[in-house]
Structure 1
């Protein structure tokens, strides 16, 4: 059943010529209003090359800042490279975008509102129109999201840049933070991944490797004994490290 549903969603975007290394799977972000349950009103969409350095609950809280009954439907961080400015090399012609455009490695989708405005039809019409001249996407779903936002700027809620610090070769991500402690989400959006060039890459790499080494089996047993008969203060003190670990992971 799951394979059948996946094939069905692939068929909805397989007609889009795409040069991005993610292939068809990046484009499938466009189908989430139909792929996810109709009673699901909001979703956070993350690329697989994302490292969180904070509690994701903070990101969920941003949905409360979406203005209007229906106006803002998509939350995104501005693109941190010059890609959509079209000045990276001679004759570089990117898809249309609002200013520097937006990066779709981290997306807040207000599904309920998107369904209400007819998102499925809107993104299809956008893709069909732009493909007449662009012929294919270079950055998969990101090109289509940006072309859509260029025509409908009031529908986007711009997130602070530390929610998607982009580490591709052409980004200026250092402008996004003054201290590495300010970071919320690190995005390895380069084919080079951990080998990308960035002056803070060693810090980012160590952070990623730290998360990678966490062993979920630690949570299958008591790390610290919590006495069943004790005063409340001693119980809180004995259990505090385990509670911290659960929240951090």
Structure 2
């Protein structure tokens, strides 16, 4: 959450997870000072939640992010999320080694159900899997190398496996000639999709920021990938959101299935999508999704189906989350400019890299 605007969105995401959880929660938030200040103003209102909540803020300077991208050497972005958006490729490097697995969710989303149900998706993986995200095999976009086939907006990541495979490259790793460690996983997948880096040293024609790179990885290493059910990413990029929404509370599964759209030629064809997480992306010309001008239009299809859910989750008071015993606590920690894994490796192995 790199800005106050992203924190305003992300606060709703955190709130929804706390609202519905049946287990303790541990949040890891990569942010700047403005985002941390906004989030803490909400979290400090939480004094006795139902389950313990721990929050670690990773205050990463913009220069630190630029430097890590430079050490990778060949990735870049022209996406609106900018360099902070590329940090989604380095989560395994920033989070502590004792964090084996994690769920990543974009800020412009919120839960409709217990996030523990999403965590249970890890148990459905075979031993080779390390990445899961929604897979929209019917959403072709050749101009994006078909990166629209996935959405890196919500990801389940086995961080320990990604660390062991050295997901992302670094000049530090390239300077190590011991032969004791594997080469980085991603460069061959990037070249397979984008070709070799161009004259400026960067891969060319990469669309959608980090998602373009994730697509290169999972499309060329399908043994690492497990598709995430569509229930976990009901997205306003498909403005009719599969044609599901609030209302008609007595509708049957058969009737709901007949109303579904965007499911032809997918594993979910003929099945109802049961929303568990709403993602309000692609609402253009707004920094914060819940201030989108379209919400004021009662005739807008998205407004008809989902505005009450937005209003409820935005308006639900943080104070109302204080419904547990006094034994459940909220723990907040702050790490200033934590080192990336390649920096730790350079220190441990006495490597000096000049860029």
Question: Judging changes above 3 Å, is the alpha-carbon distance between structure 1 residues 219 and 150 closer, same or farther for their aligned structure 2 residues?
Answer: closer
Give, in whole Å, the separation in 2 of the partners of 1:139 and 1:164.
Answer: 17
| 1:11 alignment counterpart | 67
Question: Judging changes above 3 Å, is the alpha-carbon distance between structure 1 residues 56 and 198 closer, same or farther for their aligned structure 2 residues?
Answer: farther
Check if 1:106 corresponds to 2:154.
yes
Give, in whole Å, the separation in 1 of the partners of 2:300 and 2:224.
Answer: 33
Q: Quote the offset at 1:206 in angstroms.
A: 1.7
Q: Quote the offset at 1:209 in angstroms.
A: 1.6
Residues 63-105 of structure 1: CA distance to partner in whole angstroms, max 9, x if unpaired? 111112xx110011113873x432xxxxxx21255xx621111
Give, in whole Å, the separation in 1 of the partners of 2:106 and 2:308.
Answer: 19
Question: TM-score w.r.t. structure 1 length?
Answer: 0.72
Q: What pairs up with 1:56-71 in 2 under 5 angstroms?
A: 56-68=115-127, 71=128
Check if 1:40 corresponds to 2:99.
yes
2:144 match: secondary structure:
coil
Give, in whole Å, the separation in 1 of the partners of 2:146 and 2:125.
Answer: 24
Q: Quote the offset at 1:215 in angstroms.
A: 0.8
Larger helix percent: 1
Q: What pairs up with 1:188-199 in 2 under 5 angstroms?
A: 188-192=280-284, 193=289, 194=292, 195=294, 199=301
Q: CA RMSD in A?
A: 3.1
Partner residue of 1:154 out of 223, 243, 257: 223
Question: TM-score w.r.t. structure 2 length?
Answer: 0.52
1:103 match: secondary structure:
coil
Partner residue of 1:31 out of 80, 87, 90: 90
Give, in whole Å, the separation in 2 of the partners of 1:199 and 1:13.
Answer: 40
Question: Judging changes above 3 Å, is the alpha-carbon distance between structure 1 residues 204 and 172 closer, same or farther for their aligned structure 2 residues?
Answer: closer
Corresponding pairs, count: 210
Check if 1:184 corresponds to 2:276.
yes
Check if 1:207 corresponds to 2:309.
yes
Give, in whole Å, the separation in 2 of the partners of 1:142 and 1:205.
Answer: 28
Q: Quote the offset at 1:122 in angstroms.
A: 2.1
| 1:247 alignment counterpart | none
Is the 8 Å Cα contact of residues 164 and 184 (structure 1) preserved in structure 2? yes
Q: Quote the offset at 1:188 in angstroms.
A: 1.2
Bigger relative CO (Cα 8 Å, ≥ 6 apart): 2
Give, in whole Å, the separation in 2 of the partners of 1:96 and 1:169.
Answer: 16
Structure 1: give runs of 5+ residues left out of the alignment: 87-92, 221-241, 244-249
Q: Quote the offset at 1:118 in angstroms.
A: 2.2
Q: Quote the offset at 1:201 in angstroms.
A: 3.9
Is the 8 Å Cα contact of residues 73 and 155 (structure 1) preserved in structure 2? yes
Q: Quote the offset at 1:51 in angstroms.
A: 1.9
